[in-house]
C-alpha cells in the first residue's frame, strides 16, 4: 500500500511535498477525472491524447499536476535510501550528473546531493503550480503566453527524479514491490511527453533503453 509507505515517520518529510489538489467542481477536475477514466482502460496511448474540444494548455496543466503528485509519492517511498551519504551527487547513472539552478534564487548551477537537489526541484515545481498567473485554476482565466515553455521545464526536471530512482534506487523499489507502479507511472509520463513533444530527446537519454522497452509493445 503506497499511502502507508509514503507516510512512514522515519523519512524526512521535507522532500515529500503536500499533494497539489485540483479544485473539485472545476473544469480541470473534470479533465482529471476523464484522464483517470481513460487510464483505467489500460490504453496509455489513447489516454494521453487531447480530449476532443479541449484546450491543450489546460490538458498539459492538469497532467503536469498529476505527474508532480505521482513522482512526489513515488520518491517519498524511497527517501530512506536516498541520503547525503548514498547520493552525494544528483545523478542518473555514471554518465549523467545534474547541477541545480532555478534562474532566480540560484542562478549559477550548484553541485549538490540528490536529496537536496530533489528538494530544490520539487519545491520549485510546487511554487510554479501554486502560481495562479502560470497555472490558473479559475475558469476563463487565460494561460500566460509562456505557459508551454514553463510546463516543458517542469516536465524536464520531473523526468530527472524518475531517472535518479531508476538508476540509483531500483533495488529498494523492487523490495517495496513498487516496480509495477513505477513502470506504469513512468510509461504514462513518457507517452504524454512524446504525444505533445514536451521533452527534448537529449534529455531522455539516461533512460533511453527503458523508454524503448516500455513503449515498443504499444506501437
Mean pLDDT over 153-172 rounds to 97
Q: What cell was used for 213?
A: 522497452
Binding residue positions for Zn(2+)? 82, 87, 164, 169
Q: How many CA atoms lie within 13 A of 149 on its CB side?
A: 3
User: Spelled out in words, what is the top-level CATH class assigned to the domain 27-216?
Assistant: mainly alpha
Range of lowest pLDDT (10-24, 34-48, 76-90, 100-114)? 10-24
Q: What cell was used for 79?
A: 527517501
Mean pLDDT for the chain? 87
* C-alpha to C-alpha distance for 98 and 110, rounded to whole angstroms: 9
The answer to whether the beta carbons of residues 20 and 126 sit under 8 Å apart is yes
The answer to whether the beta carbons of residues 114 and 87 sit under 8 Å apart is yes
Q: Tell me the pLDDT tens digit for each residue of 32-60.
A: 887 777 776 678 888 899 999 999 999 99
> Whole-model pTM?
0.87
Domain extents for the chain?
A: 27-216
Binding residue positions? 82, 87, 164, 169
Q: Which residues of 36-48 are buried (b: 16+ CB within 10 A; e: fewer)?
A: eebbeeeebeebb
Q: Which residues pair with 100 in a beta bridge?
A: 110
* C-alpha to C-alpha distance for 27 and 129, rounded to whole angstroms: 17
Q: What is the pLDDT of residue 40?
A: 67
Higher pLDDT, 71 or 22: 71
Q: What cell was used for 180?
A: 509495477
Q: Is 139 exposed, middle or buried (0-12, 13-18, 19+ CB in 10 A)?
A: exposed
Amino acid at each position: 500500500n503506497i499511502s502507508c509507505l509514503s507516510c512512514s515517520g522515519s523519512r524526512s518529510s521535507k522532500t515529500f511535498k503536500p499533494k497539489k489538489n485540483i479544485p473539485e467542481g472545476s473544469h480541470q477536475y473534470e479533465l482529471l477525472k476523464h484522464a483517470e477514466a481513460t487510464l483505467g482502460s489500460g490504453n496509455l496511448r489513447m489516454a494521453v491524447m487531447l480530449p476532443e474540444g479541449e484546450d491543450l494548455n489546460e490538458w498539459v496543466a492538469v497532467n503536469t499536476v498529476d505527474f508532480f503528485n505521482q513522482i512526489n509519492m513515488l520518491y517519498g517511498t524511497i527517501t530512506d535510501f536516498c541520503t547525503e551519504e548514498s547520493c552525494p551527487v544528483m545523478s542518473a547513472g555514471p554518465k549523467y550528473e545534474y547541477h541545480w539552478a532555478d534562474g532566480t534564487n540560484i542562478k549559477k548551477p550548484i553541485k549538490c546531493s540528490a536529496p537536496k537537489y530533489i528538494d530544490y526541484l520539487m519545491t520549485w515545481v510546487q511554487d510554479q503550480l501554486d502560481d495562479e498567473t502560470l497555472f490558473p485554476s479559475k475558469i476563463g482565466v487565460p494561460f500566460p503566453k509562456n505557459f508551454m515553455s514553463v510546463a516543458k521545464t517542469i516536465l524536464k526536471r520531473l523526468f530527472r527524479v524518475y531517472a535518479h530512482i531508476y538508476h540509483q534506487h531500483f533495488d529498494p523499489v523492487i523490495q517495496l514491490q513498487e516496480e509495477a507502479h513505477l513502470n506504469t507511472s513512468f510509461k504514462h509520463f513518457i507517452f504524454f511527453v512524446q504525444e505533445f513533444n514536451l521533452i527534448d530527446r537529449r534529455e531522455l537519454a539516461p533512460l533511453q533503453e527503458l523508454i524503448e522497452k516500455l513503449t515498443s509493445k504499444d506501437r
